[in-house]
Amino acid sequence: MARLGLDPGARRARARPLAPRRLRGSENPNPRACVLGDVDLVRALGLGAIRSVVMAARTDPACYSRSVDAILEPIDSAQEPERMLDSLLAFARRQHERPVLFYDNDWDLLLVSRHRARLQDAFRFVVARPEMVEALVDKALFQTLARDLELPVPAAQRMALTDDADSLGSLRYPIVAKPLTRHAATWPALLLGKAVLIEDEQALRSLQRVAREAHLEMLVQEHVPGPETRIESYHVYVDDTGAIAGEFTGRKLRTYPVVHGISTAVAITDSHEVRTLGRELVRRLDLRGVAKLDFKRGTDDRLYLLEVNPRFNLWHSPGAVAGVDLPALVYADVTGGARPSPRRARAGVRWCNLAYDARAARQAGIGPLRWLASAVRSEAKSGFAWEDPLPLPRAVLCRLRHQLRSRHEG
């Protein structure tokens, strides 16, 4: 699924350097961050005074951040992994110091994990064990892992193309259907959100017909009742000794669409319960590197584990504003620098995606003035900060120019 604020084909479009004055080479003695990610990851690094090179299209706000030195041609790691790998290695060879590699989506995570042997001579990075990455990205494998480790996940099972609605076994409606992998290219064509709620057998049969036409297998899972605001998360960086170097907790405020959508507004919390359970599950999984554990609080007030994402993500921007900069901690460790001073995350820090949160608020019945006041009060905004205000406006202007040019040429 495309990142919020980007065109679906943005990662495939060709990009050029922003301007010669922004291409700083040897004048920056510190290793640069090479970011396979969006503006929120760039922002978290920038708050740690870390310069970045991004692989992104010119419509991506990340290209216009003050902390970005240069842009690499965007390549789709799902479609052209070898070409992307060659491009990254060629970039690394031109650097005086080995860059630090950061990634914030599943395909880029898989590329780094599967090609770690080739990448580790050219880059510095942290990543979970290969078998753990594969198990956490694939939802069917994750269910097997969860059963073996007795993780508190909702009951679920894989639904193959040949299965029918009668094969649910003991699963009870309503259920949630998800693609086995988040990067399934056909899934966005089936629905707007990350998953679909199935109320009864008839609805499941309808979805199965569409899934078969798309040759898409699914995971079906018992639904944990309640709105998306009951989704809480634990964010952590575990160093190579197994020690927790940094952590914080958070909660979703709004998503777009309202049900099973992408986060558009979130808040940092200080939940002892989420932190304690998160630490325990990280121990059971024997995780290394960064991870986000998503929970949903059921009507029985129990926390159910929905997924574990062993990669960087948008939460690292509000986390950094709140005082726990996980990307900066990783950078310090892999470059041998001093870690930022340990702090407890300041609860209440909010982040919002200005491009989509107004739509999410409208769907949630929140009026424009009330939403605007909420957005202004958000300490972290995707693509905008008072000391770095241009990423989102310049990306919007770039996209408008592109659309006007396309209409004129058409």
Is residue 20's pLDDT more than 80?
Answer: no
pLDDT tops 60 at residue 188: no
Pick 228-381's CATH classification: 1.10.530.10, 1.10.540.10, 3.30.470.20, 3.40.47.10: 3.30.470.20
Q: Which amino acid is at 16?
A: R
Q: Is the pLDDT of residue 378 over 80?
A: yes
Domain covering 10-125 in this structure, CATH number? 3.40.50
Q: Where in the chain is the domain with CATH 3.30.470.20?
A: 228-381
Residue 1: what pLDDT?
33
Residues 42-75 have pLDDT tens digits of: 999 999 999 999 999 999 999 999 999 999 999 9
Q: 155-222 adopts what CATH topology? A: Dna Ligase; domain 1 (3.30.1490)
Which amino acid type is present at position 315? W
- Residue 175 corresponds to which amino acid? I
- Mean pLDDT, the chain, rounded, equals 89
27 confidence band (pLDDT: 50, 70, 90): low
Determine the Cα–Cα distance for residues 237 and 252; give it in Å rounded to an integer: 20
Residue 338 has pLDDT above 80, yes or no: yes
pLDDT of 377 higher than 80: yes
> Which pLDDT score, from 0 to 100, does residue 180 have?
81
- What is the per-residue pLDDT for 352? 98
Mean pLDDT across 149-170: 82
DSSP per residue over 270-336, as a string?
--HHHHHHHHHHHHHHT--EEEEEEEEE-TTSPEEEEEEE-S--TTHHHHHHTT--HHHHHHHHHHT
Express the helix, strand and coil content of the chain in percent, nearest 5 each.
40, 20, 40
| Numbered ranges of CATH 3.40.50 in the chain | 10-125
Q: What is the location of CATH 3.30.1490.20 in the chain?
A: 155-222
β-strands 218-222, 175-179 pairing: antiparallel
Between strands 100-103 and 33-36, the pairing is: parallel
Spell out the residues 6+ positions from residue 363 whose beta carbon is closer than 8 angstroms to its own.
256, 257, 258
Beta bridge partners, 55, equal: 72
Q: What is the 3-state secondary structure (H, E, C) of 107-141?
A: HHHHHHHHCHHHHCCCCECCCCCHHHHHHHHCHHH
What distances in angstroms separate CA 242 from CA 234, 238, 288, 342, one per listed residue?
17, 6, 7, 17
State the first-to-last Cα distance of the chain, in angstroms, to the nearest integer.
Answer: 27
Reference 23, options 54, 48, 50, 44; nearest CA is 54
- Tell me if 374 sits within 8 A of 355, measured CB to CB: no
pLDDT digits (tens, 9 = 90+) for 235-289: 999 999 999 999 999 999 999 988 888 999 999 999 999 999 999 999 999 999 9
